[in-house]
Chains A and B, each alone.
Chain A
């Protein structure tokens, strides 16, 4: 007897327990690690998503903005549910639901019908459009399609429709964020530059950052300085909106007028050079005032640099309150350093976050032992290496570029560390290695409220060291022998 394809019939087999035991041990060996690192084609548990997810995050950061996915509807559902799960908040976005006929005739008809419906039903002030795979492959011409839509009167000619090509087979979510933000700013600032005008404000760009606490922390620091600012792509209200019995589809975001006027800013500061590269490159050429791009302010030294840069850009003294805050952070750090000193970590994440983790750990006397990026560049590798070279604790640490979390698993089971810094997806490797996972990155699907605790700035440093040290102390209390279980730690 054979099946439909004439495939041979075999008996149902059961796993041999001895063989299961052998493989279970084998995947923890050096031999397996070598085999694992020799992979050429298969990617297992990657730590990055695709471009449109980042584009959607940027699009959510503006007033009345409805993210619009040009492509298959399933893509839009995936991006939305990822943001829903991470923030535990709504993520309203639409798609134009392209299907097979779109592949044959192109996506213009879907785009036009979609723009008209979304505009009519959800009454947005702006619809940033970005693409998933399908239109990228069939070669849809968004420039022409959108122009045609406006000529046909599908949406008003002056309605802002920034658009970005965000192919999923190129880059990662951070590049989609960058491409979308660039297009939004290009669209909104068009024709708004006024010779001699200065808003007197700082334009701040956070980069791809899904921690709403960070956004609030940046604002608090600027307010301490008394510096007026326009926070570009400000998702803090969108993804941390009050529950008061009324659903607001557009609960916050950067005001479109402010974004438009940002081109006349006194200064523009982008944080995270990897997720803002294109946007910053364009701003540097076209925006009035001063410009700077800096690493995200993780840890004391990088926060110092951030604060001094703001003082420098605005010629203002550093407020006493921030000086005191720095002192308190240093106090907290020295109080707790003994619980982190010499501890080894494996870390992975987006380039800008990764740089932040490395400098924070080195500052604490901890060791960023395995540093892994699943979508990185030579430039990033050099930059991380420079941080390692500048510290005594950086010796013996290794950078793994363009490796995934199955590689990470091999690393932590063969060459152990005390903890992993990453996101929810690292929980399998952490469990297998029997070490804690610190969910500082994106996404977090399995712990509550972490995105409300800032990681940047002086208070971010305190939050990170508190999470890490107390976890280590919990482990000690839970696992130590009875005779070493003591009142004080």
Chain B
């Protein structure tokens, strides 16, 4: 993929101006904190194609970080969206309560019958800490099976205390799985592990590898166009855009990981011919496992905005025969004019507007071009929990010399925004109201701000409409009072 990169420049942004902005933002820090933060903030070197910042390191104590924990990565991201399993937040009541319905990974099915978007917890009390929670876990697994007979399996997601008091959830899960005759997956994703949500993704991938994959097989024969879609979490219905799109291109999407996911189909994914991954950060581990163990190749695609969708579909078609190639071209030809109409409507309203992004592990690079499709420029981007390989992939997407930030603190973010004066910020709920108080339009880019889908051809018109709504809402004109 040694494509020649077209170097993008932004008026008024140079390596020097960006570095000066970074230095200034760090002035207030202690010497020690500054030293720790310096490697995480840098101007982009677009031509290099490699990371300009350090990442996946511990957050400095006492700064306002947006990061979550391993449990959040396991419950919220990887396991939680599987719709036909009971996911038990094992430990005190809070973790499960805070993560209950707050990610917008939508699900089909009937709540409490064959879909379980609920808050299941062992609600640890003092006595469970003192005497251990294994007995309680065993009882509650049986109760869950009894009350929810259509649940295909149960995941047990450990919260901090479980690992600290030395409970053995693995042995309880093993025993109960045998007695109840359903898969019960122990996931040691205590929040204190690792430096962010990221380790929770990895731990969850490992448990899928150990307990799920290869335990089911599709009853029907496998065809040449059978693929799986990984790293698609169905935020605001994203998978209900991407899955039909791939099907329109001639593929059979045998399983989606894990948005609106079904446990048994995930378990039979080792049979597919190709894994298509969207969120690389949270699921590349399983792609690599399936490649090594089952020889399944994988490809990373981008479903944000018509340019990237077109590119992605063609890349995908390259791996298949003329039948698929023809179908893909037909799909592109069908949607291109529709997308052009969206661009024609919104680009005049958004041309030359600027955006700053700070999201989880994928969107800070994957959405850059979607804004560009609308005539906008991303002038700063960064991740909560990305690793070096994510920043490598970011370099070419972002304009040269724009600021790249890893695990940004609220102080730095505020300073950068004040300096760059973007027309829009796309980040999370903890950042949203801060910037809106500053009078800067904002969209939550983890959850699509209660809208969506944003993926695929179905998503782009909604994305464009929302970005326009945020930036051009007349409400912002009221911020400055006449008196």
Residues of A with Cβ closer than 8 Å to B? 1-5, 7-13, 15, 19-20, 23-24, 27, 32, 35-36, 39-46, 48-50, 52-53, 68, 71-75, 77-82, 84-85, 88-100, 102-103, 110-111, 113-122, 132-134, 137-138, 167-170, 172, 241, 243-248, 406, 409, 425, 428, 432, 445
Contact = CB atoms under 8 A, between A and B. Distances in A.
A10 B122 contact: no
A95 B126 CA distance: 24
A30 to B, nearest CB: 15
Contact of A46 (B97, B183, B212): B97
B439 A245 contact: yes
B59 A137 contact: no
B111 A428 contact: yes
A27 B112 contact: yes
Contacts of A99: 58, 192-195
B61 A114 contact: yes
15 contacts: A11-B218, A20-B114, A27-B113, A71-B160, A73-B67, A74-B95, A79-B98, A81-B428, A82-B98, A92-B434, A98-B61, A103-B192, A119-B62, A170-B126, A246-B437
A19 B114 CA distance: 10
Contacts of A95: 61-62, 65
B69 A74 contact: yes
B208 to A, nearest CB: 10
B215 A46 contact: no
B62 A116 contact: yes
B93 A117 contact: no
A95 B114 CA distance: 38
B211 interface: yes
Contacts of A81: 98, 102, 428-430
B335 interface: no
B114 A23 contact: yes
A194 to B, nearest CB: 35
Contact of B437 (A19, A241, A406): A241
Contacts of B112: 27, 406, 409, 428, 432
B190 to A, nearest CB: 9
B468 interface: no
Interface stretch (B5-13, B40-48, B145-153): B145-153
Contacts of A12: 216-219, 264-265, 267-268
A108 B29 CA distance: 20
Closest 6 A/B residue pairs (Cβ):
A74-B69, A50-B94, A117-B62, A114-B62, A3-B214, A114-B61
Contacts of B410: 92
B191 A72 contact: yes
A73 B62 contact: no
B180 interface: no
B118 A117 contact: no
B60 to A, nearest CB: 6
B160 A5 contact: no
Interface residues of B, number: 104
Interface stretch (B135-143, B277-285, B321-329, B345-353): B135-143
Contacts of B113: 20, 23-24, 27
Nearest to A116: B30
Given A99-B193, A246-B438, 10 more contacts: A42-B122, A45-B119, A52-B94, A77-B68, A78-B94, A94-B62, A137-B164, A245-B479, A247-B437, A248-B437
B165 interface: yes
A241 B215 CA distance: 54
Contacts of B124: 168-169
B60 A133 contact: no
B438 A89 contact: no
Contacts of A245: 437-439, 479-480
Contacts of B60: 97, 113, 117
B161 interface: yes
Nearest to B263: A12
Given A41-B139, A42-B143, A243-B437, A133 B65 contact: no
Contacts, number: 297
Contact of A247 (B61, B93, B409, B434): B434
A85 to B, nearest CB: 6
B214 A1 contact: yes
A42 B176 CA distance: 15
B160 A133 contact: yes
Nearest to A102: B192
A96 B67 CA distance: 12
Contacts of B119: 44-46
Interface string B391-434: 00000000000000000011100100000000000001110111
B265 A74 contact: no
B374 interface: no
Contacts of B479: 243-245
Interface in B10-40: 28-30, 32-33
A114 B62 CA distance: 4
Interface in B70-98: 70-72, 84, 88, 91-95, 97-98
Given A72-B192, A138-B164, A53 B94 contact: yes
B63 A169 contact: no
Contacts of B240: none
A170 B192 contact: no
Given A1-B214, A99-B194, A133-B91, A111 B481 contact: no
B192 A100 contact: yes
Nearest to A99: B192
A111 to B, nearest CB: 7
B429 A84 contact: yes
A392 B181 CA distance: 52
Contacts of A432: 111-112
B191 A75 contact: yes
A117 B29 contact: yes
A117 B192 contact: no
Contacts of A246: 437-438
Given A120-B33, A134-B164, A137-B160, A84 B94 contact: no
B198 to A, nearest CB: 12
Contact of A122 (B64, B91, B110): B64
A3 B192 CA distance: 30
Nearest to A25: B113
B54 to A, nearest CB: 17
Contacts of A117: 29-30, 33, 60-63
A345 B69 CA distance: 39
Nearest to B265: A12
Given A12-B264, A133-B161, A75 B430 contact: no
Given A46-B119, A72-B69, A97-B60, A4 B210 contact: yes
B276 interface: no
A92 B114 CA distance: 39
A445 B218 CA distance: 40
B161 A243 contact: no
B92 A133 contact: yes
A48 B68 contact: no
A128 B13 CA distance: 41
Contacts of B268: 12
A93 B64 contact: yes
Nearest to A243: B437
A50 B111 contact: no
Contacts of B84: 15
Contacts of B70: 74
Contacts of B62: 68, 94-96, 113-119, 121
B291 interface: no
A169 B102 CA distance: 22
Contact of A48 (B32, B93, B160, B430): B93
A23 B93 CA distance: 28
A134 B434 contact: no
A39 B139 CA distance: 9
A2 B432 CA distance: 48
A92 B410 CA distance: 9
B313 interface: no
Given A23-B150, A133-B160, A97 B65 contact: yes
Contacts of A94: 62-64
